[in-house]
Amino acid sequence: MIYRIRHITRYEYQKPVSQCFNKAHLLPRSTNTQRCLERKVSISPNADWQREHKDYFGNNYCYFMLQEPHRSLEIDITSRIDVKPSQPEGSLDLGCSVAEATARMVEAADEATLMAREFLLDSAMIRANDDLRDYAKASFKPDRSLLASVREITQRIFEDFTYDPEFSTIATPLDEVLKHRRGVCQDFAHLAIGCLRSLGFPARYVSGYLETLPPPGQEKLVGADASHAWFAVYSPGDGWFEFDPTNNNMPSGQHIVTAWGRDYEDVAPLRGVIFDGGGKQTLDVSVDVARV
Q: What residues make contact with another protein under the rule CB under 8 A?
A: 11, 18-23, 48-49, 51, 53, 55-57, 63, 65, 67, 111, 114-115, 117-118, 121-125, 170-171, 265-266, 268, 270-276, 278
**Shortest Å, Cβ 247 to another protein:** 26
What phi-psi label fits residue 279: left (phi over 0), alpha (psi between -120 and 50 degrees) or beta? Answer: left
Strand order through the sheet with 228-235: 239-243, 228-235, 203-210, 255-261
Least distance in Å: CB of 54 to another protein? Answer: 8
Q: Which is nearer to another protein, 173 or 237 (CB)?
A: 173
What's the residue count for the chain? 292
Q: Which is nearer to another protein, 129 or 252 (CB)?
A: 129
E-only strand ranges, 28-116: 34-44, 49-54, 60-66, 70-83
Closest CB to another protein among 9 and 247?
9
Residue 186 phi/psi, 5-degree rounding, is: -55, -45
The least distance separating another protein from the CB of residue 255, rounded to whole angstroms, comes to 24
Closer by beta carbon to another protein, 22 or else 145: 22
Q: Show Cβ contacts of residue 144 under 8 Å, excluding neighbours closer than 6 positions.
A: 97, 98
Minimum CB separation of residue 117 from another protein in Å reads: 5
Nearer to another protein, 5 or 66 (CB): 66
Question: Least distance in Å: CB of 261 to another protein?
Answer: 8
